[in-house]
Protein backbone atom coordinates (compact mmCIF):
# COMPACT_ATOMS: atom_id res chain seq x y z
CA UNK A 1 0.00 0.00 0.00
CA UNK A 2 1.37 3.40 -0.89
CA UNK A 3 1.70 6.04 1.75
CA UNK A 4 -0.36 9.17 1.15
CA UNK A 5 0.05 12.31 3.25
CA UNK A 6 -3.04 13.53 5.04
CA UNK A 7 -4.45 16.95 4.06
CA UNK A 8 -3.59 19.73 6.48
CA UNK A 9 -7.23 20.02 7.67
CA UNK A 10 -7.38 16.32 8.57
CA UNK A 11 -3.93 16.26 10.11
CA UNK A 12 -4.95 19.12 12.40
CA UNK A 13 -7.82 16.98 13.74
CA UNK A 14 -5.34 14.40 14.98
CA UNK A 15 -3.97 16.84 17.55
CA UNK A 16 -6.93 17.87 19.74
CA UNK A 17 -6.57 21.25 21.33
CA UNK A 18 -7.47 21.43 24.98
CA UNK A 19 -9.08 24.71 25.77
CA UNK A 20 -8.22 25.77 29.27
CA UNK A 21 -10.44 28.13 31.19
CA UNK A 22 -9.41 30.10 34.22
CA UNK A 23 -11.68 31.88 36.66
CA UNK A 24 -10.84 34.22 39.48
CA UNK A 25 -12.65 35.07 42.63
CA UNK A 26 -12.36 38.34 44.53
CA UNK A 27 -12.62 38.04 48.28
CA UNK A 28 -13.41 41.05 50.34
CA UNK A 29 -13.48 41.41 54.10
CA UNK A 30 -14.04 44.22 56.50
CA UNK A 31 -13.41 44.79 60.18
CA UNK A 32 -15.94 43.08 62.35
CA UNK A 33 -17.85 45.16 64.83
CA UNK A 34 -16.76 44.95 68.45
CA UNK A 35 -19.05 42.78 70.56
CA UNK A 36 -21.43 44.69 72.78
CA UNK A 37 -21.10 44.40 76.50
CA UNK A 38 -24.71 43.40 76.95
CA UNK A 39 -25.72 39.86 76.23
CA UNK A 40 -27.81 39.40 73.11
CA UNK A 41 -30.65 36.97 72.77
CA UNK A 42 -30.44 34.50 69.91
CA UNK A 43 -32.58 35.42 66.96
CA UNK A 44 -35.92 33.70 66.95
CA UNK A 45 -36.79 31.50 63.98
CA UNK A 46 -39.66 32.77 61.94
CA UNK A 47 -42.41 30.63 60.57
CA UNK A 48 -40.99 30.98 57.05
CA UNK A 49 -37.56 29.58 57.94
CA UNK A 50 -37.10 25.91 57.05
CA UNK A 51 -33.51 24.71 56.77
CA UNK A 52 -34.57 21.38 55.33
CA UNK A 53 -36.93 22.76 52.69
CA UNK A 54 -35.59 22.55 49.09
CA UNK A 55 -34.84 25.79 47.28
CA UNK A 56 -37.60 26.86 44.91
CA UNK A 57 -35.00 28.01 42.39
CA UNK A 58 -32.98 24.80 42.46
CA UNK A 59 -33.07 23.26 38.98
CA UNK A 60 -33.72 19.56 38.56
CA UNK A 61 -31.16 18.14 36.11
CA UNK A 62 -32.18 15.14 34.06
CA UNK A 63 -28.52 14.38 33.36
CA UNK A 64 -25.95 15.20 36.04
CA UNK A 65 -22.80 14.20 34.14
CA UNK A 66 -21.61 13.22 30.69
CA UNK A 67 -21.48 9.44 30.14
CA UNK A 68 -18.44 7.57 28.80
CA UNK A 69 -18.45 8.50 25.09
CA UNK A 70 -16.35 5.56 23.92
CA UNK A 71 -19.09 3.22 25.19
CA UNK A 72 -21.81 5.05 23.25
CA UNK A 73 -21.50 3.06 20.03
CA UNK A 74 -21.54 -0.66 19.42
CA UNK A 75 -18.46 -2.35 17.96
CA UNK A 76 -20.55 -3.26 14.92
CA UNK A 77 -21.42 0.40 14.25
CA UNK A 78 -17.80 1.51 14.65
CA UNK A 79 -16.60 -1.17 12.22
CA UNK A 80 -19.20 -0.16 9.63
CA UNK A 81 -18.54 3.58 9.85
CA UNK A 82 -14.76 3.53 10.40
CA UNK A 83 -13.32 0.37 8.80
CA UNK A 84 -10.01 -0.58 10.32
CA UNK A 85 -10.41 1.54 13.46
CA UNK A 86 -9.99 0.16 16.98
CA UNK A 87 -13.51 -0.26 18.27
CA UNK A 88 -12.53 0.92 21.77
CA UNK A 89 -11.98 4.45 20.46
CA UNK A 90 -9.87 7.12 22.10
CA UNK A 91 -11.26 9.64 24.57
CA UNK A 92 -10.02 13.19 24.08
CA UNK A 93 -8.88 14.90 27.32
CA UNK A 94 -11.32 17.50 28.61
CA UNK A 95 -10.97 20.40 31.03
CA UNK A 96 -14.16 19.18 32.73
CA UNK A 97 -15.01 15.55 31.99
CA UNK A 98 -18.15 15.79 34.11
CA UNK A 99 -19.67 18.29 31.69
CA UNK A 100 -18.16 17.42 28.30
CA UNK A 101 -16.60 14.22 27.01
CA UNK A 102 -15.57 13.22 23.48
CA UNK A 103 -14.46 9.97 21.89
CA UNK A 104 -12.79 9.64 18.48
CA UNK A 105 -12.32 6.81 16.01
CA UNK A 106 -10.25 7.18 12.84
CA UNK A 107 -8.54 4.90 10.36
CA UNK A 108 -7.00 4.78 6.91
CA UNK A 109 -7.82 1.51 5.14
CA UNK A 110 -6.27 1.18 1.71
CA UNK A 111 -6.99 4.67 0.37
CA UNK A 112 -10.21 5.31 2.29
CA UNK A 113 -10.00 7.56 5.36
CA UNK A 114 -12.77 7.94 7.93
CA UNK A 115 -13.03 9.98 11.12
CA UNK A 116 -15.82 9.87 13.71
CA UNK A 117 -16.31 11.96 16.85
CA UNK A 118 -19.05 11.54 19.47
CA UNK A 119 -19.42 14.21 22.16
CA UNK A 120 -21.69 14.60 25.17
CA UNK A 121 -22.22 18.04 26.68
CA UNK A 122 -24.22 18.47 29.89
CA UNK A 123 -25.58 21.89 30.83
CA UNK A 124 -27.21 23.16 34.04
CA UNK A 125 -30.77 23.39 32.73
CA UNK A 126 -32.97 22.36 29.84
CA UNK A 127 -33.24 26.03 28.88
CA UNK A 128 -29.45 26.39 28.71
CA UNK A 129 -29.21 23.29 26.52
CA UNK A 130 -31.96 24.62 24.26
CA UNK A 131 -30.16 27.96 23.88
CA UNK A 132 -26.89 26.18 23.05
CA UNK A 133 -28.70 24.00 20.53
CA UNK A 134 -30.35 27.00 18.87
CA UNK A 135 -27.00 28.79 18.73
CA UNK A 136 -25.38 25.86 16.96
CA UNK A 137 -28.30 25.74 14.55
CA UNK A 138 -27.73 29.38 13.62
CA UNK A 139 -24.06 28.66 12.85
CA UNK A 140 -24.98 25.98 10.31
CA UNK A 141 -26.73 26.37 6.97
CA UNK A 142 -28.13 23.96 4.45
CA UNK A 143 -29.00 21.29 7.00
CA UNK A 144 -32.29 19.78 8.05
CA UNK A 145 -34.18 18.41 11.01
CA UNK A 146 -33.72 14.78 12.06
CA UNK A 147 -36.99 13.49 13.50
CA UNK A 148 -37.10 10.92 16.28
CA UNK A 149 -33.68 11.71 17.76
CA UNK A 150 -33.88 13.22 21.25
CA UNK A 151 -36.09 16.26 21.85
CA UNK A 152 -34.70 17.94 18.73
CA UNK A 153 -31.94 17.20 16.21
CA UNK A 154 -30.57 18.45 12.92
CA UNK A 155 -27.90 17.36 10.46
CA UNK A 156 -25.76 19.19 7.93
CA UNK A 157 -23.19 17.93 5.38
CA UNK A 158 -20.45 20.06 3.86
CA UNK A 159 -17.79 19.46 1.20
CA UNK A 160 -14.33 21.05 1.43
CA UNK A 161 -11.40 20.85 -0.98
CA UNK A 162 -7.75 21.42 -0.05
CA UNK A 163 -4.85 20.89 -2.44
CA UNK A 164 -7.20 19.05 -4.76
CA UNK A 165 -8.30 16.59 -2.05
CA UNK A 166 -12.02 16.54 -1.25
CA UNK A 167 -13.34 15.86 2.25
CA UNK A 168 -17.00 15.52 3.10
CA UNK A 169 -18.12 16.08 6.68
CA UNK A 170 -21.46 15.48 8.33
CA UNK A 171 -22.49 16.95 11.68
CA UNK A 172 -25.51 15.95 13.76
CA UNK A 173 -26.48 17.88 16.89
CA UNK A 174 -29.21 16.47 19.11
CA UNK A 175 -30.71 17.77 22.34
CA UNK A 176 -32.37 15.74 25.05
CA UNK A 177 -33.38 17.59 28.23
CA UNK A 178 -30.28 19.40 29.56
CA UNK A 179 -27.74 17.55 27.39
CA UNK A 180 -26.42 17.80 23.86
CA UNK A 181 -25.04 15.03 21.65
CA UNK A 182 -22.72 16.15 18.85
CA UNK A 183 -21.56 13.73 16.15
CA UNK A 184 -18.98 14.61 13.49
CA UNK A 185 -18.29 12.12 10.69
CA UNK A 186 -16.06 12.74 7.67
CA UNK A 187 -14.19 10.90 4.98
CA UNK A 188 -11.85 11.12 1.98
CA UNK A 189 -10.48 8.86 -0.74
CA UNK A 190 -6.76 9.51 -1.18
CA UNK A 191 -6.53 7.60 -4.45
CA UNK A 192 -9.31 9.31 -6.38
CA UNK A 193 -9.07 12.48 -4.26
CA UNK A 194 -12.84 12.42 -4.18
CA UNK A 195 -15.06 12.56 -1.10
CA UNK A 196 -17.65 9.94 -0.15
CA UNK A 197 -21.23 10.48 -1.24
CA UNK A 198 -23.19 13.01 0.83
CA UNK A 199 -25.89 10.45 1.55
CA UNK A 200 -23.35 7.97 2.94
CA UNK A 201 -21.83 10.54 5.31
CA UNK A 202 -25.21 11.89 6.41
CA UNK A 203 -26.66 8.45 7.12
CA UNK A 204 -23.55 7.43 9.02
CA UNK A 205 -23.62 10.52 11.21
CA UNK A 206 -27.33 10.06 11.96
CA UNK A 207 -26.83 6.38 12.80
CA UNK A 208 -24.10 7.27 15.30
CA UNK A 209 -26.22 10.07 16.77
CA UNK A 210 -29.18 7.74 17.37
CA UNK A 211 -27.01 5.25 19.23
CA UNK A 212 -25.32 7.99 21.26
CA UNK A 213 -28.65 9.53 22.30
CA UNK A 214 -29.93 6.11 23.31
CA UNK A 215 -26.78 5.52 25.38
CA UNK A 216 -27.27 8.89 27.09
CA UNK A 217 -30.91 8.20 27.88
CA UNK A 218 -29.97 4.91 29.59
CA UNK A 219 -28.10 6.95 32.22
CA UNK A 220 -31.19 8.95 33.17
CA UNK A 221 -32.14 8.85 36.81
CATH of residue 165? 3.40.1000
Q: State the pLDDT at residue 138.
A: 83
Please, what's the largest Cα pairwise distance for the chain? Answer: 92
Characterise 215 by phi-psi region: left (phi > 0), alpha (psi -120 to 50), beta (else): alpha
Q: What number is the average pLDDT over the span 23-32?
A: 36
Q: Is residue 28 part of a domain?
A: no
Q: Is residue 2 in a domain?
A: no
pLDDT digits (tens, 9 = 90+) for 182-195: 999 999 999 999 99
Instruction: Report if residue 37 sits inside a domain.
Output: no
Tell me if 214 sits within 8 A of 189, measured CB to CB. Answer: no
Task: Say what the pTM is.
Answer: 0.73
Compute the mean pLDDT over every residue in the chain, rounded to the nearest whole number: 81
* pLDDT at residue number 187: 97
Query: Is residue 87 situated within a structural domain?
Result: yes
User: Does residue 66 belong to any structural domain of this protein?
Assistant: yes
Answer yes or no: is 196 within a domain. yes
Domain of 130, in residue numbers = 59-217
Reply yes or no on whether the pLDDT at 134 is more than 50: yes
Q: Which band of pLDDT confidence, cut at 50, 70 and 90, is reported for residue 24?
A: very low
Q: What does the pLDDT read at residue 61?
A: 85
- pLDDT at residue 188, rounded to an integer: 97
pLDDT of residue 59: 58
Reported confidence tier of residue 41, pLDDT bands at 50, 70, 90: very low
> Is residue 105 within 8 Å of 85, Cβ to Cβ?
yes
CB 178 within 8 A of CB 114: no
Provide the Cα torsion 6, 8, 13, 14; round to 10°: 50
Mean per-residue pLDDT, 97-123 = 95
Asked whether residue 156 is domain-assigned, the answer is: yes
Lowest mean pLDDT among 55-59, 90-94, 95-99, 179-183: 55-59
Q: For position 78, what pLDDT does the model report?
A: 98
Residue 65, number of CB atoms within 10 A of its CB: 14
For the chain, the domain total comes to 1
**Would you say residue 31 lies in a domain?**
no
Amino acid sequence: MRSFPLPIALTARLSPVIVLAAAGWALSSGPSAAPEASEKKPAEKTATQSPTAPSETQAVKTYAAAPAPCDALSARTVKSLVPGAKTAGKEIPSTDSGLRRTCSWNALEEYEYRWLDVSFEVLDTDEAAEQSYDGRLEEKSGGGAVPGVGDAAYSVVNLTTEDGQETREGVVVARTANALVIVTYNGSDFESKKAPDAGEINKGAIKAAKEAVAALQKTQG
